[in-house]
Copies of this chain bind each other. A is one copy, B any other.
Amino acid sequence: MPPFFKRLHRKKDGRELWLYSLTPEEASPLPELQEPFHPAPHLRYHPLRGEWVVYAAHRQGRTFLPPKEHCPLCPSQAGGFPTEIPFAAFQVAVFENRFPSFVEEAPPPPEGLPVPVEAALGRCEVVVYTPSHTGSLATLTEEERLLLAWVWRDRYQALYALPGVRFVMPFENRGEAVGVTLHHPHGQIYAYPFVPPVLERESQAFRERPVLLELFPHLGPYVVDEEEGFLAFVPPFARYPYEVWVAPRERRPGPWTFSEGEMAAFARLLGRVVARYDTLFGEPFPYVMVFHAAPLGEEATFHFHVEFYPPKRTRDRIKYLAGTELGAGTFVVDALPEETAKALREAL
């Protein structure tokens, strides 16, 4: 039995809120804001790139860098500002995004468009890592981080069970440099009704050969850190100067197949990668972190891994994606992976 408790609270606007904890919690809910929740995203097909684009016009109004006292991800206080989480205490909270790109009850797409359209079926969730307004994957206690890893695993299982979902991706956008709109430590999960283009290409590569298993014996100078059964490394073909991947040494399709020992090693290694990032320039290091687990049907060959894309190329300079990256899909990198791996290895 997994080492956590979970409790479902249905928010007044109909959204699900799950509270995960290491010990059972029974507190009664506090009053909630009840704002309208009628998201209406839809999909349009890009006929030249061969990919779906999501239109979620309701997102323009989303919360943008609120002051700390109005953080919607903090616990609510009796008599105080009602946050997204109507409880005075929690450990990890997961709720349906109020500004979703995919929803289970997506309305029919608009008619009469000159390209194929579809309903944006699926689900978008917010994962609040901790009740504390500050912190990161690096500053959580080992116990908190392990609980979070179990939450990801549980959400994978819940979301892949939804009808029509073909790919589930936990991710975290960290830092204003990547456009975060809320500073409270949190991530997101998207459950897509299609296999997105990057995962389609990765799936095809894994169907042809065990790319990561072939790479691991040659990773010497690229290894940043390790734990029993897991490696953290700068890929020798990194597209961002300080890109880091975390992967199990043996092929696993996703965290839902990890042993309890693997869960703990994975959580520790993720935390240490972020600690290395934050030590590198002596300040919180912005990044986009994405989990690549097997899309539906790819479980026999896909090798789970986490990819961190940090936008910094030096302490003071951002690597902007521009003409060649956005317009051609070819990345130009200023720093050699051998060197950034060494810097990150020596950072702790």
Q: Which residues on A are within 8 Å of B, measured CB to CB? A: 44-57, 59-60, 64, 101, 113-115, 167, 169, 171-173, 178-179, 188, 190, 192, 196-199, 201-202, 204-206, 211, 215, 218-219, 235-239, 288-290, 292, 307, 309, 313-314, 317-324, 326-336
How far is B288's CA from A199's CA once the two chains are assembled, in angstroms? 26
Q: In the complex, what residues of B have CB within 8 A of residue A45's CB? A: 237
How far is B330's CA from A171's CA once the two chains are assembled, in angstroms? 13
Q: Is the interface of A mostly helix, strand, loop or mixed?
A: mixed
Q: In the complex, what residues of B have CB within 8 A of residue A52's CB? A: 330
Whether B328 and A309, one on each chain, are in contact in the complex, defined by CB atoms closer than 8 angstroms, is no
How far is B329's CA from A51's CA once the two chains are assembled, in angstroms? 8
Whether A327 and B53, one on each chain, are in contact in the complex, defined by CB atoms closer than 8 angstroms, is no
Q: What is the minimal beta-carbon distance from A224 to any residue of chain B, in angstroms?
A: 16
Q: In the complex, what residues of B have CB within 8 A of residue A167's CB? A: 328
How far is B318's CA from A318's CA once the two chains are assembled, in angstroms? 15
Q: In the complex, what residues of B have CB within 8 A of residue A334's CB? A: 56-57, 59-60
How far is B113's CA from A326's CA once the two chains are assembled, in angstroms? 27
Q: In the complex, what residues of B have CB within 8 A of residue A113's CB? A: 236
Whether B335 and A190, one on each chain, are in contact in the complex, defined by CB atoms closer than 8 angstroms, is no
Indicate whether A46 sits within 8 Å of B169 (C-beta atoms), given known contacts A55-B333, A196-B328, A288-B323: no
Q: In the complex, what residues of B have CB within 8 A of residue A235's CB? A: 46
Closest B residue to A169 by CB, please name it: B328
How far is B50's CA from A202's CA once the two chains are assembled, in angstroms? 8
How far is B188's CA from A188's CA once the two chains are assembled, in angstroms? 37
How far is B60's CA from A336's CA once the two chains are assembled, in angstroms? 11
Whether A178 and B55, one on each chain, are in contact in the complex, defined by CB atoms closer than 8 angstroms, is no
Q: In the complex, what residues of B have CB within 8 A of residue A318's CB? A: 179
Q: What is the minimal beta-carbon distance from A244 to any residue of chain B, in angstroms?
A: 14
Q: In the complex, what residues of B have CB within 8 A of residue A205's CB? A: 47-50
Indicate whether A324 sits within 8 Å of B53 (C-beta atoms), given known contacts A101-B332, A211-B48, A334-B60: no
18 residue pairs A–B, Cβ–Cβ below 8 Å: A48-B206, A49-B201, A53-B330, A54-B331, A54-B332, A56-B334, A57-B336, A60-B335, A101-B324, A114-B236, A115-B215, A169-B327, A188-B323, A196-B329, A198-B328, A289-B323, A290-B326, A307-B327
Whether A196 and B54, one on each chain, are in contact in the complex, defined by CB atoms closer than 8 angstroms, is no
Whether B54 and A333, one on each chain, are in contact in the complex, defined by CB atoms closer than 8 angstroms, is yes
Closest B residue to A176 by CB, please name it: B320
Task: Identify the 10 closest CB pairs spanning chains A and B, nearest first.
Answer: A179-B320, A290-B327, A171-B323, A114-B218, A196-B328, A197-B329, A198-B329, A46-B237, A173-B322, A196-B330
Whether B57 and A211, one on each chain, are in contact in the complex, defined by CB atoms closer than 8 angstroms, is no
Of the candidates B44, B239, B292, B330, which one forms a contact with A237 in the assembled complex, judged by CB atoms under 8 Å apart? Answer: B44
How far is B55's CA from A335's CA once the two chains are assembled, in angstroms? 7
Whether B322 and A215, one on each chain, are in contact in the complex, defined by CB atoms closer than 8 angstroms, is no
Whether B331 and A53, one on each chain, are in contact in the complex, defined by CB atoms closer than 8 angstroms, is yes
Q: In the complex, what residues of B have CB within 8 A of residue A188's CB? A: 323
Q: In the complex, what residues of B have CB within 8 A of residue A202's CB? A: 48-49
Whether A197 and B330, one on each chain, are in contact in the complex, defined by CB atoms closer than 8 angstroms, is yes
